Structure 1
């Protein structure tokens, strides 16, 4: 009886261990995709990506070798696994070097060359493992594990692995000591805990043993293997959490929320589905259930249940974990509610269509329209019925009549402010809830509701008129809310670039505060080239121009004249910088004019790259290389212009 329980326990541990190895593959691959998606530019993140890729290779080959049907196939996967194992020391040293550089102690050349040499040695070790038996020997396979015997050079590899691991951890420890703020020190400490777990978790320690551990003490073997895989998966998630903040211009809460959603929607759901698959297979082997029947049921059920659970708990979990203070929660909730209740142009048209249809139904008519009055005049929003709305000139006259309250051809239909104009009744849509200081001024005209009633309409009943006035007030309220929302967005267009600049400074100053905050040179910012390129791509309009961080520059603010849009001022600064690249004299299509011609044709004239390449007699590949040089010239000129603008302009004083 006791033996049966032990066999069941060992079988369960072996099954759970296989699940954990698959979970490692899922975690490493998913976190690698996350880092490649959101944090590719930072040096720490790039070195972390190499480490994640190496761990993913090790875990994937471990799974594949266990599923191989023959010893030859298993040997292929086990030897391929050494590509990941051999690259891990170099990736770890690379990561530690990036951490030191980020905290203000860049390499003077020795660490950089050591990283390159370690990568080269890793590639050589992987080649030896693949092509010969010098590093690893023959494959030993039993029912549960696949392992290899150690080759004559494995002891040297182990020594080098240990030395590089210690060196990497020492560098990471030095970076930890250089962190000054509690937050950065805590995160660096988490990373310092994760690195040794990753190094120990991927090292092929079975090659150091006789290989009889599974037979002599199987319970101890599976407990150690399970604990190792659990810790490795946790270390990958912990390391990804810490690295996610490096170079991220977004606030910490955004990074945390984004990573949490990624982990919940990706690895956690995948873990649950794989767990269901492994569990059903285990039940089939142990108790003989029908796996073909229960496997799809279990996997689909777990998938749906996981998605439902994540949808229910995600937002409360984020508020509890990431928004500590009540004031922070309130601010974030207001922004979330704004995005959820945003009145878009399509929403406005849909609502006005409903109001117009209800108005026509009230009067038992078929046609009508709603126009919005703005800076560009009266613009048609919605219409119903066969009758065409008035032309632009007639709409302008109608607007003037409604503004003045009376005009030739416009007669009040009744005492409620409804005007009779030709075959239409016009209901002015005016501003509601005016401020007290503007109570004496007439309400601003927001739009007009036109109803086609014919040349001789019958006088409507009081109840019908009351309904029309209520519907008109609803339409006016929607137009007013839309206008206020647009005013809010205009304020945000100015505020967002400034906030983004502060967030970038905050992110840069987290680990190297003095250098990041004291540096006032725009050209030192690694993102300035991308900002300039984005602004040039959307030179004639677009979100990359209207939301560009360059809008926060002093030179752009100085260029704003009167009521000019900040985006227009940035466009002028870009134009001045492009003119700086222009050589003296009459325009030509020669080599010295190449950079200017590229900027003019590609961005100002918005010509296609293939067309520009033909006109300038260069290949497209050469065009893109020269285009990068041209954009860099523009960025340098803008940085120079920014440096010459005083921080606080002094007003002129008359004497």
Structure 2
């Protein structure tokens, strides 16, 4: 005995804590599985297993702590509902896994799964009738339980038989896996499924003579079983989390790892600690002493703080491997990224500083974009600078004098204009934009103010140059996205299917594909490049034919319009930098305007228009590829 508490009571408390921990773990993993990739049949089947485990352990936990016979009996009968449906769920899971590896059911396995589910539903109807299990034995040892009946033994044989069939199907799926990684994960599934299936075995031994005489042995076995079931549920979830997702392995591991730490681990530790404190409080007839809520809140905060502080180090150590350096560089880019909002905030501070320094009422900063000036930020009265943004004279003056020096001031119509120039060592001086403020022609600026203004404009130039470079990096990453996404999807699918996944023809947005998109858009309102386009063979086009009165031409036209709308920025249409790709597609192809007319409308040269048009076509092509991949995934499921 410890502090007057018997060892049997100690292990009974441990079993209650571990049962509650297993319920929390199963529920947390169930919520995690509901978030990601429900299109996969394997994931849906695993959710049923988790649901059975949640019902089983939640009901068992309620029954173990309740003192009312009615609640105990209802809870134990609900627990048996989870037991009854567990074999059917495992059989469904194993069939889905074998189908994923390239061996779909020819009908027999599918009908067997359906028959077992129907049979399980029938068994559930026998539970409240005290046929499958008997009434409650409230004084039974080692704990109150439902009495056995003749049919309880038959159910045990049925349970073992279905689990053996499911295990054999899982083994067939394991034999069909391809890579070393997928085989390792299948081993986890086999081992985890076996442990979880056997984990409820002690509960079928209620009322046996052995455990009635030695209840401490029963509680020890139950505690170990609960720990094993909870642990191997995490292992099964780890393996199932990879099915069908196109994310890299490190991302799947990281998300599951964080979820496990913040969810079941934190909740289980807090529950266990609180229960122990309450049990000690019962020695002083005060189970709900003031230390319980204080300790609970404090432990939650400590756990969350520790996870937040240490998780990045654990991720780099456990999941990144040899890719650690590259991933850290990408993460560093994200942490130090200069967004449009950051740039605007910085420029607003600069314009406000100029106004305070020179005692002027307003100031502006604009950026070169598409051969014209685009106003970025204005301090004071914006209407005073509207003429500058649209003035060809200001633009010509800036282009003519902008790159001669980065310290020269230009005067125009009562304003002082300062070209924003960055001195690049490789490309020479780059004209990035224009800064200005109202300034009387006969007013002189002292040397100290000139030095301060030159310093501010230099920093503006650095910010604009860095932001433009960053946009180029983002554009490069976007151009890689469809190819990388396709490879990740093929990698995920082909890990468990060695037949046709890698051989399926999926077009990438390469030269030919982009030319097909361009040709179809060129003849958007009619012409051979649309009516004879290879894009008509895409699965998304074939699936959309019924929505367009059976016309594949109209279906393709609709797909092209949808792809263009997907790159359309939010809000009302404007002629700014973020709208330029959409405006080119809209004006050039959907409205059919000539190149010169579009270039004049967008204030850019024809050469720049063709370059931007290429980027716009690539964006449309990437969107169509993503739509095609999504449609193919939908068809497979």
What TM-score, normalized to structure 2?
Answer: 0.79
Number of the residue aligned with 2:115: 117
- When the two chains are superposed, the root-mean-square deviation of aligned CA atoms in Å is 3.6
Does residue 257 of structure 2 align to residue 270 of structure 1? no
Task: Describe how 1:446-485 pairs up with structure 2 within 5 A.
Answer: 446-461=432-447, 463-485=448-470
After TM superposition, give the deviation of residue 32 of structure 1 in Å: 1.1
After TM superposition, give the deviation of residue 342 of structure 1 in Å: 1.4
Q: 1:505 aligns with which of 472, 484, 490?
A: 490
Number of the residue aligned with 1:649: none
How many equivalent pairs are there?
558
Does residue 423 of structure 2 align to residue 432 of structure 1? yes
Number of the residue aligned with 2:399: 403
After TM superposition, give the deviation of residue 43 of structure 1 in Å: 1.8
SS in structure 2 at match of 1:518:
coil
1:575/1:592 CA distance change after superposition, 3 Å: closer
Q: 2:242 aligns with which of 231, 245, 270?
A: 245
Does residue 132 of structure 2 align to residue 141 of structure 1? no
After TM superposition, give the deviation of residue 21 of structure 1 in Å: 1.2
User: Do 2:420 and 2:432's aligned partners in 1 also have CA atoms closer than 8 Å?
Assistant: yes
After TM superposition, give the deviation of residue 455 of structure 1 in Å: 4.1
Number of the residue aligned with 2:351: 356
1:350/1:177 CA distance change after superposition, 3 Å: same
User: Do 1:323 and 1:329's aligned partners in 2 also have CA atoms closer than 8 Å?
Assistant: yes
Q: 1:50 aligns with which of 44, 48, 51?
A: 48
1:431/1:459 CA distance change after superposition, 3 Å: closer
- In 1, the alpha carbon distance for the partners of 2:495 and 2:117 equals 29
After TM superposition, give the deviation of residue 117 of structure 1 in Å: 0.9
Q: 1:319 aligns with which of 316, 319, 324?
A: 316
Does residue 552 of structure 2 align to residue 556 of structure 1? no
Q: 1:496 aligns with which of 481, 486, 510?
A: 481
- In 1, the alpha carbon distance for the partners of 2:455 and 2:359 equals 17
Does residue 502 of structure 2 align to residue 517 of structure 1? yes
User: Do 1:383 and 1:389's aligned partners in 2 also have CA atoms closer than 8 Å?
Assistant: no
- In 2, the alpha carbon distance for the partners of 1:255 and 1:4 equals 44
Q: 2:303 aligns with which of 296, 301, 306?
A: 306
User: Do 1:128 and 1:134's aligned partners in 2 also have CA atoms closer than 8 Å?
Assistant: yes
SS in structure 2 at match of 1:157:
helix
1:486/1:560 CA distance change after superposition, 3 Å: farther
- In 2, the alpha carbon distance for the partners of 1:594 and 1:181 equals 40
SS in structure 1 at match of 2:199:
helix
After TM superposition, give the deviation of residue 368 of structure 1 in Å: 0.7
Q: Which has the higher contact order (CA 8 A, sep 6+)?
A: 2
Number of the residue aligned with 1:650: none
What TM-score, normalized to structure 1?
Answer: 0.77
User: Do 2:196 and 2:232's aligned partners in 1 also have CA atoms closer than 8 Å?
Assistant: yes
After TM superposition, give the deviation of residue 4 of structure 1 in Å: 5.2
What do residues 264-299 of structure 1 show as CA deviations (whole Å, max 9, x unaligned)? 222222223322321221121135567341121111
Number of the residue aligned with 1:337: 332
Task: Describe how 1:60-71 pairs up with structure 2 within 5 A.
Answer: 60-71=58-69
More displaced 10-residue stretch of structure 1: 446-455 or 345-354: 446-455
- In 1, the alpha carbon distance for the partners of 2:5 and 2:320 equals 48
More displaced 10-residue stretch of structure 1: 313-322 or 573-582: 573-582
1:195/1:420 CA distance change after superposition, 3 Å: same
Unaligned residue ranges in structure 1 (runs of 5+) = 523-549, 607-633, 643-655
- In 2, the alpha carbon distance for the partners of 1:559 and 1:429 equals 41
Number of the residue aligned with 1:195: 193
Number of the residue aligned with 2:173: 175
- In 2, the alpha carbon distance for the partners of 1:169 and 1:468 equals 76
Task: Describe how 1:531-570 pairs up with structure 2 within 5 A.
Answer: 552=509, 556-559=513-516, 561=518
- In 2, the alpha carbon distance for the partners of 1:64 and 1:553 equals 60
After TM superposition, give the deviation of residue 363 of structure 1 in Å: 2.1
Does residue 410 of structure 2 align to residue 419 of structure 1? yes
1:264/1:175 CA distance change after superposition, 3 Å: same
- In 1, the alpha carbon distance for the partners of 2:243 and 2:44 equals 11
1:246/1:554 CA distance change after superposition, 3 Å: farther
1:285/1:187 CA distance change after superposition, 3 Å: same
What do residues 376-399 of structure 1 show as CA deviations (whole Å, max 9, x unaligned)? 722221111246442255554322
- In 2, the alpha carbon distance for the partners of 1:298 and 1:361 equals 54
- In 1, the alpha carbon distance for the partners of 2:56 and 2:194 equals 16
What do residues 318-337 of structure 1 show as CA deviations (whole Å, max 9, x unaligned)? 01111111xx1111011111
User: Do 1:190 and 1:239's aligned partners in 2 also have CA atoms closer than 8 Å?
Assistant: yes
Number of the residue aligned with 1:371: 366
After TM superposition, give the deviation of residue 362 of structure 1 in Å: 2.7
Task: Describe how 1:612-651 pairs up with structure 2 within 5 A.
Answer: none
User: Do 2:142 and 2:218's aligned partners in 1 also have CA atoms closer than 8 Å?
Assistant: no
Unaligned residue ranges in structure 2 (runs of 5+) = 523-528, 566-623, 633-637
Does residue 28 of structure 2 align to residue 27 of structure 1? no
User: Do 1:573 and 1:638's aligned partners in 2 also have CA atoms closer than 8 Å?
Assistant: no
After TM superposition, give the deviation of residue 365 of structure 1 in Å: 2.8
SS in structure 2 at match of 1:444:
strand
After TM superposition, give the deviation of residue 147 of structure 1 in Å: 1.4
User: Do 1:582 and 1:593's aligned partners in 2 also have CA atoms closer than 8 Å?
Assistant: no
1:573/1:62 CA distance change after superposition, 3 Å: farther
What do residues 211-263 of structure 1 show as CA deviations (whole Å, max 9, x unaligned)? 45555223212211110100010011010001111111111111111111111
- In 1, the alpha carbon distance for the partners of 2:402 and 2:254 equals 57
- In 1, the alpha carbon distance for the partners of 2:469 and 2:359 equals 33
1:576/1:385 CA distance change after superposition, 3 Å: farther
- In 1, the alpha carbon distance for the partners of 2:382 and 2:29 equals 59
- In 2, the alpha carbon distance for the partners of 1:228 and 1:580 equals 53
User: Do 2:357 and 2:449's aligned partners in 1 also have CA atoms closer than 8 Å?
Assistant: yes
After TM superposition, give the deviation of residue 416 of structure 1 in Å: 2.8
1:554/1:82 CA distance change after superposition, 3 Å: farther
